[in-house]
Amino acid sequence: MCMCVCVNLKLNFRLTGTYNNWFQSLKCKK
């Protein structure tokens, strides 16, 4: 489930370009 969230955050980062979303995805990975 967390993996899906991480992927969604990554896609969100690509679409919006929000650095915060990218940081959250890294946090979720760890």
Mean pLDDT confidence for 24-30: 63
SS3 of 19, please? helix
Handedness of CA 15, 26, 21, 5 (dihedral sign): positive
Asked if residue 1 has pLDDT above 50, the reply is no
Phi, psi (rounded to 5 degrees) for 18? -85, 120
CB 21 within 8 A of CB 13: yes
Predicted confidence at residue 18, as pLDDT, reads 60
Mean pLDDT confidence for 12-30: 62
